[in-house]
């Protein structure tokens, strides 16, 4: 991977236009486009009408399919579209009738907005709203070819997946780009029960402070690390700022564990067939929904007898497949990987299913291998042919090797975790999640900024004599203890370049109270070694010759995640200040308690 001069992601424009850009970035068209613009209020089966914009070429030659995005972020205004959509937005309006619709309760759409509205077999939900929308479009918009596809990123991808659960007969393709799959296990709001504080707080404020606008929370400190630390226990958020007016925050507080509320929202148990050809798209450094598209692909794959289910992963952050993909943060990839995705993968695939053009041939998995910067195609994901599982063991003195530790005693590395001085997840000052600008690139920031922290412990190999190619699911097997009765364990797999740059390849957090069950939290036995298995998810990465592999462990990651009090509290959202205490952490690396990283290697 090549390092380039540091750059900053530009401040995002108004969210509705951004979402339009993400949609229109799929296919190329030269020159400016001035589409025909039609606004409609499409009726649903219960009488609620949804604000919808339909855009099509002014000079349409022949019937066209619909390409639909259903969103909570707003539809484009007519005057903005009338000024022309520039080539940089990769307009597709010569090939599709583009439809963008606000979901219930957002902007001018009627009804009530419900975050991640669950399926309702006896009423209305996002699946029925998608069905009714397609039915109305096919019957009321002239010049369509009777086919429709859904496409979206993030929340818009989730609504696309909902449309595929019980699809209208006209629906022939789904492109879900970073759809969340489970908001408690691994996507936006929680990872393995650890609450994503800055994202959850700011996103809830963004969507639920006002129905007809996107409202960024205004911080009164330049460093949000300081602001969240001064907030104190989580219960102060509602007492000081939300005052019971933010439904999603109320749900966070009422449902701290993986209960029926969260299980109703997850899409994975609802997938019992592949009813529509589906393209699942993930970014290796997606800061919001890296988990979702992989789990959705995995769930669909169990039922994919017609080979309609495909997986794509590139070296992107959240939504970067719709922009420039030659660089992310300080990393360069040698080519525009996002353009490759749009022109070589998404365009031919959509054209086949919606326009009846091309062969429709696509590899089961098309994945960009980071480190070597090449695209790979696999017949199965994760691949199994030629893959061997190897264990990298934590050793005494900060060493890391494929040899099992020989120490028969109680070898461990110790550090103190202090909730009053948590480890920042990116260099300070920490700007707001929205509108950024560091949030989109934090996962590729050099981890050397943590070098002086005594509560971050590391192990590393000697310089590699040969390339080490890792492809597939990575798992941390951690033996650890805490002097408290609850703890967080953060594990990061890092590529250390010859110049010292430290790049996160895989990472995850586990809240120790959920080590045995996500539904039933348990206090941790104090000062007792416990074995933790932490899924670091999939990667396709080459650690180059001369680089080192590094493993880091810590117990806070702030304010990305809330602070664990480290004293067991039944509901951390209601914990008191006195519950937050220092704890002595031990990570073991003896023959008896051999902590390791399980790597699938080629």
Reported as a single tens digit per residue, the pLDDT across 425-444 is 999 999 999 887 899 999 99
Q: Does one domain contain both 367 and 434?
A: no
pLDDT band, residue 525 (cuts 50/70/90): very high
**210 lies in some domain:** no
Q: How far apart (Å, rounded) are the C-alpha atoms in residues 147 and 499?
A: 53
- Does the pLDDT at position 8 exceed 70? no
Q: Does one domain contain both 401 and 374?
A: no
Q: What is the pLDDT of residue 33?
A: 60
Reported as a single tens digit per residue, the pLDDT across 315-374 is 999 999 999 999 999 999 999 999 999 999 998 999 999 999 999 999 999 999 999 999
Chain-centre distance for alpha carbon 14: 21
CA terminus-to-terminus distance, the chain: 19
- Does the pLDDT at position 10 exceed 60? no
- Does the pLDDT at position 25 exceed 80? no
Q: What is the pLDDT of residue 580?
A: 98
Reported as a single tens digit per residue, the pLDDT across 441-481 is 999 999 999 999 999 999 999 999 999 999 999 999 999 99
- C-beta of residue 297 within 8 angstroms of C-beta of residue 311: yes
Provide the CATH number for the domain around residue 51. Answer: 3.40.50.1820
The mean per-residue pLDDT over the stretch 576-597 comes to 97
**220 lies in some domain:** no
Reported as a single tens digit per residue, the pLDDT across 181-190 is 999 999 999 9
- Does the pLDDT at position 389 exceed 60? yes
Q: What is the pLDDT of residue 1?
A: 43
Q: Does one domain contain both 176 and 317?
A: yes
- Does the pLDDT at position 152 exceed 70? yes
Q: Does one domain contain both 115 and 164?
A: yes
- Does the pLDDT at position 170 exceed 90? yes
| 161 closest CA partner among 75, 285, 268 | 268
Specify the range with the lowest mean pLDDT, choosing from 27-31, 225-229, 300-304, 527-531. 27-31
Q: Does one domain contain both 540 and 462?
A: yes
Q: What is the pLDDT of residue 574?
A: 97
**316 lies in some domain:** yes
| 100 closest CA partner among 47, 167, 143, 151 | 151
Q: What is the pLDDT of residue 483?
A: 98
- Does the pLDDT at position 4 exceed 70? no
Continuous segment of H or E residues that includes residue 156? helix 155-165
Q: What is the pLDDT of residue 78?
A: 85
Q: Does one domain contain both 465 and 411?
A: yes
Instruction: Identify the domain boundary among 378, 402, 427.
Output: 378
Number of domains in the chain: 2
Q: Does one domain contain both 174 and 130?
A: yes
- C-beta of residue 521 within 8 angstroms of C-beta of residue 513: yes
* Domain limits for position 133: 2-181+267-378
Q: Does one domain contain both 169 and 105?
A: yes
- Does the pLDDT at position 30 exceed 50? no
**135 lies in some domain:** yes
Instruction: Identify the domain boundary among 378, 411, 428.
Output: 378
Q: What percent of the chain has a predicted confidence (pLDDT) above 90? A: 86
Reported as a single tens digit per residue, the pLDDT across 85-126 is 545 344 477 789 999 999 999 999 999 999 999 999 999 999
- Using left for φ > 0, alpha for ψ between -120 and 50, and beta otherwise, residue 415 falls in beta
Q: Which residue has the higher pLDDT, 205 or 418?
A: 418
3-state secondary structure of 502: strand
Q: How far apart (Å, rounded) are the C-alpha atoms in residues 210 and 335?
A: 41
Q: What is the pLDDT of residue 334?
A: 97
- C-beta of residue 225 within 8 angstroms of C-beta of residue 428: yes
Q: What is the pLDDT of residue 208?
A: 87
**192 lies in some domain:** no
**585 lies in some domain:** yes
Q: Does one domain contain both 359 and 316?
A: yes
Mean pLDDT of the chain: 92
**566 lies in some domain:** yes
Residue 193: both structure tokens together: 């029960």
Q: What is the pLDDT of residue 362?
A: 97
Q: How far apart (Å, rounded) are the C-alpha atoms in residues 589 and 394?
A: 6
Q: What is the pLDDT of residue 21?
A: 46
**197 lies in some domain:** no
| pTM (predicted TM-score) | 0.93
Q: Does one domain contain both 477 and 557?
A: yes
Q: Does one domain contain both 404 and 370?
A: no
Kindly tell me the sign of the dihedral angle through the C-alpha atoms of 227, 233, 234, 237. Answer: negative
pLDDT band, residue 285 (cuts 50/70/90): very high
Q: Does one domain contain both 25 and 106?
A: yes
Residue 175: both structure tokens together: 């492109």
Instruction: Identify the domain boundary among 378, 396, 423.
Output: 378
Strand partners, 370: 541
Residue partners of 70: CB distance under 8 A and separation at least 6: 101, 102, 103, 126, 129, 130, 133, 150, 152, 156, 159, 160, 163
Provide the CATH number for the domain around residue 573. Answer: 2.60.120.260
Measured in residues, the chain has a length of 602
């Amino acid at each position: 991977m090549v390092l380039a001069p540091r750059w900053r992601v530009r401040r995002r424009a108004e969210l509705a236009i951004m979402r339009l850009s993400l949609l229109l970035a799929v296919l190329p068209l030269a020159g400016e486009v001035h589409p025909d613009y039609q606004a409609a209020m499409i009726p649903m089966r219960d009488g609620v009408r949804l604000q919808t914009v339909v855009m099509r070429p002014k000079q349409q030659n022949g019937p066209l399919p619909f390409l639909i995005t259903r969103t909570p972020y707003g539809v484009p205004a007519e005057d903005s579209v009338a000024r022309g959509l520039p080539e940089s937005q990769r307009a597709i309006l010569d090939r599709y009738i583009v439809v963008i619709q606000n979901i219930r309760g957002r902007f001018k759409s009627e009804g009530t907005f419900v975050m991640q509205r669950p399926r309702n077999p006896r009423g209305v939900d996002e699946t029925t709203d998608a069905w009714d929308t397609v039915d109305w479009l096919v019957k009321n918009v002239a010049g369509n070819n009777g086919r429709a596809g859904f496409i979206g990123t993030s929340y818009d991808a989730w609504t696309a997946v909902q449309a595929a659960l019980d699809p209208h007969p006209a629906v022939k393709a789904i492109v879900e780009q970073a759809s969340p799959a489970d908001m408690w296990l691994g996507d936006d709001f929680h990872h393995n029960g650890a609450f994503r504080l800055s994202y959850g707080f700011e996103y809830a404020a963004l969507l639920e402070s006002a129905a007809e606008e996107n409202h960024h929370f205004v911080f009164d400190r330049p460093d949000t690390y300081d602001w969240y630390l001064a907030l104190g226990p989580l219960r102060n958020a509602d007492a000081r700022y939300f005052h019971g007016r933010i439904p999603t925050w109320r749900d966070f507080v009422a449902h701290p564990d993986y209960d029926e509320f969260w299980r109703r929202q997850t899409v994975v148990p609802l997938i019992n067939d592949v009813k529509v050809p589906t393209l699942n798209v993930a970014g290796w450094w997606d800061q919001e929904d890296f988990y979702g598209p992989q789990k959705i692909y995995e769930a669909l794959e169990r039922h994919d007898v017609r080979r309609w289910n495909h997986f794509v992963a590139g070296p992107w952050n959240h939504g970067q497949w719709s922009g420039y993909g030659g660089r992310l943060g300080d990393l360069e990839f040698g080519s525009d990987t996002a353009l490759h995705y749009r022109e070589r993968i998404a365009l031919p695939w959509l054209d086949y299913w919606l326009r009846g053009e091309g062969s429709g041939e696509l590899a089961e998995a098309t994945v960009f291998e980071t480190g070597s910067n090449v695209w790979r195609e696999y017949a199965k994901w994760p691949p199994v042919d030629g893959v061997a599982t190897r264990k990298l063991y934590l050793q005494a003195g900060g060493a890391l090797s494929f040899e099992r530790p020989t120490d028969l005693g109680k070898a461990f590395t110790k550090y103190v975790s202090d909730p009053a001085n948590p480890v920042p997840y990116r260099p300070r000052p920490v700007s707001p999640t929205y509108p950024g600008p560091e949030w989109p690139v934090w996962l590729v920031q050099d981890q050397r900024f943590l070098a002086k922290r005594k509560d971050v412990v590391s192990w590393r190999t000697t310089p590699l004599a040969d390339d080490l190619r890792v492809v597939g699911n990575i798992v941390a097997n951690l033996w650890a203890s805490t002097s408290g009765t609850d703890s967080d364990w953060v594990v990061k797999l890092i590529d250390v370049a010859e110049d010292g740059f430290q790049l996160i390849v895989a990472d995850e957090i586990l809240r120790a109270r959920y080590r045995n069950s996500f539904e039933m939290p348990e206090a941790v036995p104090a000062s007792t070694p416990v074995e933790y298995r932490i899924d670091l998810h999939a990667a396709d990465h080459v650690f180059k010759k001369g680089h080192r592999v590094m493993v880091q462990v810590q117990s806070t990651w702030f304010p990305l995640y809330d602070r664990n009090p480290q004293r067991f509290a039944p509901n951390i959202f209601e914990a008191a200040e006195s519950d937050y205490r220092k704890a002595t952490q031990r990570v073991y690396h003896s023959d008896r308690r051999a902590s390791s990283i399980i790597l699938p290697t080629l």
